[in-house]
């Protein structure tokens, strides 16, 4: 008979080595991480960072102080990156979409020395364990939040976003996505116990082994930022890699360096205070036309790449960098689609869409572009519409929404580059080249404070569904295609086909028919794109909420990953087991 035995307790032989500063942060942020973890599991509303820029929240001085801090950077060397290895050169060249040159220059990174320093710093970061890393990350995000108005100016004057949007999307919303990445990373690492005693039944005494599981990073994580959302799109990758034991090198878009320079400054400060090496986070700035992203992507020390930007370089990463063995997470471009079948409230629906098209002049990766409308028989409470009549209604809603210049600029922001401006400025030519009919011309809007800003309202082009080449390309910026189809079935089929081929971040449908909604859900599942149904209030198709909405699906060519699911996190670290008899 087998004797009853008491199993020995597991005690890891590789305990975490946590510096004092980090220990304090673990305590400080325990509740924040618990709350975030609960929200993640429930996918409920959760925001640690207040999205309101109101003085009631931040005090009367916050906004002017932020502006002052921003102005303090202009025309100066950004010298707060500490001892980052540098070539001695200073690089810059940012020009605000609102007009002014920023004139900020940044120390050019000595890439080999920087990657060596990052690799050396990684060991203590690995050995500190998941809880310490998560707490340090939360502290970094909190400290970025504390510089919210300065960050808002930096984001506004690099991306061209309007001020409130720059404050929100560049600040609290980006920070919530950062916290989400940290929370997913912590949850994924917590799934692996530190130490267990394993007992296999055997004749007599069971065979007992102690097994320790240790999380190790992959290597340096490279994050390549974009022009339009310098923080929002960079933070998930930065914090996902960092929280999973990888050092990070951040290569901002040459026209949107400042927001990430501030980010790196804060991260390095916090890391040092917590007892780690600042080399865990480094900035790799370059000027327009450089090849640093490519050079870094293929550097042997770089193992993980996060990228947001155009499909050209994104495609190169997905082929060349993936073939070189790098983990590549991309968000590129796509054909965000709306299917119009029928309306319970036409005015509310077109009003909602007008906001979505106007916000930041359609320069969001989630902004809708292609509106598929059956040629006739669109039901509304006030009778049926044809596609042309719907396009006209939508045009009126856009015009009404943007009627006052001073208010319109606070939604439209400024056009970010010459490509966008070219399409807006020769809209009739664009319509003609595409074989479509202009229904609404973009309107020139004058910015009361920044006369050099190029601001345009969205324009609408009506296209027949057989012009698939025309609407199968992304026309980034204030361009809306209303595409006339034979039926809603055809609309859904085209959405499925074009999204599978060209990608999309978002899809919306308007219908009062439950059967059409059910078909739309099947089409969304087939196409692999998130669906919003009958949005008519204060939620917009181009907005996603951290902890609840996945941003992108990773299931179509627009993006190979989503913010932030297990697939975005779990391959950034590996588990090394140690086992022995007890």
Site for a second copy in 538-577 (CB under 8 A): 538-539, 545, 548-550, 553-555, 560, 562, 565-567, 570-571, 574-577
Q: Cβ 133 to a second copy, closest distance in Å? A: 15
DSSP E strands: which ranges in 238-369? 248-251, 281-283, 302-308, 327-331, 337-340
Which candidate, 340, 171, 168, 363, places its Cα nearest to that of 255? 363
Where in 370-429 is the site for a second copy (CB under 8 A)? none
Q: Cβ 434 to a second copy, closest distance in Å? A: 28
Q: Which residues, including other chains, have CB under 8 Å from residue 319's CB and lie 6 or more apart?
A: none
Residue among 239 and 563 whose Cβ is closer to a second copy: 563
Where in 36-95 is the site for a second copy (CB under 8 A)? 41-45
Where in 92-151 is the site for a second copy (CB under 8 A)? 123, 126
**130 phi-psi bin (left φ>0, alpha ψ -120 to 50, beta other):** alpha
Quick check: helix, strand or coil at residue 370? Answer: strand
Residue among 314 and 459 whose Cβ is closer to a second copy: 314
**Pairing mode, if any, of strands 455-456 and 444-445?**
antiparallel
Residue among 69 and 517 whose Cβ is closer to a second copy: 517
Q: Cβ 568 to a second copy, closest distance in Å? A: 9
Q: Cβ 391 to a second copy, closest distance in Å? A: 24
Which candidate, 452, 396, 467, places its Cα nearest to that of 421? 452
Q: Cβ 536 to a second copy, closest distance in Å? A: 8
What does the chain come to in residues? 582
Q: Measured between alpha carbons, how far is 408 from 573 in angstroms, rounded to an integer?
A: 46
User: Of 25-33, 156-164, 235-243, 515-523, which part binds a second copy (CB under 8 A)?
Assistant: 515-523
Quick check: helix, strand or coil at residue 12? Answer: coil
Tokens of 484: 């006339």
C-alpha distance from residue 260 to each of 200, 229, 264, 386, 469 (Å)? 52, 11, 6, 48, 37
Residue among 47 and 86 whose Cβ is closer to a second copy: 47
Where in 293-332 is the site for a second copy (CB under 8 A)? 318-320, 322-325
Count interface residues toward a second copy (CB under 8 A): 74
User: Of 144-152, 390-398, 475-483, 522-530, which part binds a second copy (CB under 8 A)?
Assistant: 522-530
Q: Cβ 105 to a second copy, closest distance in Å? A: 37
Query: 3-state DSSP: the chain helix, strand, coil percent, rounded to 5?
Result: 45, 20, 35
Q: Cβ 465 to a second copy, closest distance in Å? A: 24
Q: Cβ 198 to a second copy, closest distance in Å? A: 5
Q: Cβ 298 to a second copy, closest distance in Å? A: 13
The residue from 213, 276, 372, 481 that contacts a second copy (CB under 8 A) is: 213
User: Of 55-63, 140-148, 256-264, 524-532, which part binds a second copy (CB under 8 A)?
Assistant: 524-532
Which candidate, 462, 456, 452, places its Cα nearest to that of 425? 456
Kindly state whether residue 216 participates in binding a second copy, applying the rule CB under 8 A. yes
Residue among 441 and 565 whose Cβ is closer to a second copy: 565
- As beta bridge partners, residue 375 has none
Angle at alpha carbon of residue 557, lines to 549 and 416, rounded to 5°: 75
**Pairing mode, if any, of strands 444-445 and 302-308?**
unpaired
**Contact yes or no for 519/349 (Cβ under 8 A):** no
Q: Cβ 5 to a second copy, closest distance in Å? A: 14
The residue from 17, 67, 209, 272 that contacts a second copy (CB under 8 A) is: 209
User: Of 132-140, 185-193, 417-425, 437-445, which part binds a second copy (CB under 8 A)?
Assistant: 185-193
């Amino acid at each position: 008979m087998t004797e009853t035995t008491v199993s020995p307790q597991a005690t890891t032989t590789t305990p975490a080595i946590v510096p004092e500063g980090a220990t304090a942060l673990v305590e400080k942020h325990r509740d924040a991480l618990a709350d975030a973890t609960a929200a993640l599991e429930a996918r409920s509303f959760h925001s640690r960072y207040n999205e309101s820029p109101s003085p009631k929240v931040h005090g009367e001085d916050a906004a002017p102080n932020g502006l002052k801090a921003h102005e303090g950077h202009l025309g100066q060397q950004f010298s707060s990156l500490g001892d980052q290895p540098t070539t001695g050169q200073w690089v810059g060249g940012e020009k605000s979409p609102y007009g002014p040159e920023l004139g900020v220059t940044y120390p050019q990174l000595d890439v080999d020395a920087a990657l060596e320093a990052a690799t050396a710093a990684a060991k203590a970061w690995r050995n500190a364990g998941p809880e310490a890393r998560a707490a340090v990350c939360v502290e970094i995000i909190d400290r970025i939040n504390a510089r919210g108005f300065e960050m808002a100016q930096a984001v506004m004057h690099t991306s061209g976003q309007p001020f409130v949007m720059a404050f929100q999307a560049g600040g609290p919303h980006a920070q919530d996505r950062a916290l989400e990445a940290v929370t997913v990373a912590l949850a994924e690492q917590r799934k692996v116990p530190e130490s267990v005693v394993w007992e296999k039944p055997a004749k007599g005494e069971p065979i007992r082994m102690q097994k320790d599981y240790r999380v190790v990073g992959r290597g340096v994580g490279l994050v390549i930022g974009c022009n339009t959302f310098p923080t929002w799109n960079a933070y998930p990758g930065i914090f996902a890699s960092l929280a999973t034991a990888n050092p990070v090198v951040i290569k901002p878009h040459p026209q949107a360096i400042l927001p990430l320079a501030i980010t790196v400054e804060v991260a390095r400060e916090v890391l040092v205070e917590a007892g780690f090496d600042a080399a865990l986070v480094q900035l790799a700035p370059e000027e327009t036309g450089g090849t640093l992203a490519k050079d870094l992507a293929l550097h042997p020390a770089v193992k993980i790449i996060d990228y947001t930007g155009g499909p050209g370089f994104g495609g190169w990463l997905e082929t060349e960098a993936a073939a070189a063995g790098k983990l590549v997470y991309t968000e590129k471009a796509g054909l965000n689609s709306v299917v119009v079948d029928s309306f319970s409230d036409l005015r509310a629906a077109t009003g909602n869409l007008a906001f979505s098209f106007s916000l930041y002049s359609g320069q969001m990766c989630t902004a809708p572009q292609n509106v598929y409308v059956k040629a006739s028989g669109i039901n509304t409470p006030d009778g049926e519409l044809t596609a042309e009549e719907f396009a006209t209604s939508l045009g009126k809603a856009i015009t009404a929404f943007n009627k006052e210049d001073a208010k319109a600029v606070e939604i439209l922001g400024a056009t970010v580059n010459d490509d966008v401006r070219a399409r807006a400025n020769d809209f009739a030519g664009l319509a003609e080249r595409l074989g479509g009919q202009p229904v609404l011309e973009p309107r020139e809007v004058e910015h009361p404070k920044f006369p050099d800003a190029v601001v345009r309202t969205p324009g609408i082009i009506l296209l027949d569904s057989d012009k698939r080449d025309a609407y199968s390309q992304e026309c980034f910026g204030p361009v809306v295609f209303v595409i006339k189809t034979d039926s809603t079935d055809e609309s859904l089929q085209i959405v499925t086909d074009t999204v599978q081929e060209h990608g999309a971040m978002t899809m919306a449908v308007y219908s009062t028919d439950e059967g059409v909604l059910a078909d739309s859900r099947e089409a969304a599942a087939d196409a692999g794109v998130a669906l919003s149904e009958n949005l008519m209030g204060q939620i917009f198709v181009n907005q996603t909420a951290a902890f609840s909405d996945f941003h992108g699906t990773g299931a179509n060519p627009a993006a190979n990953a989503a913010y932030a699911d297990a697939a975005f996190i779990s391959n950034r670290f590996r588990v090394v087991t140690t086992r022995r008899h007890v």
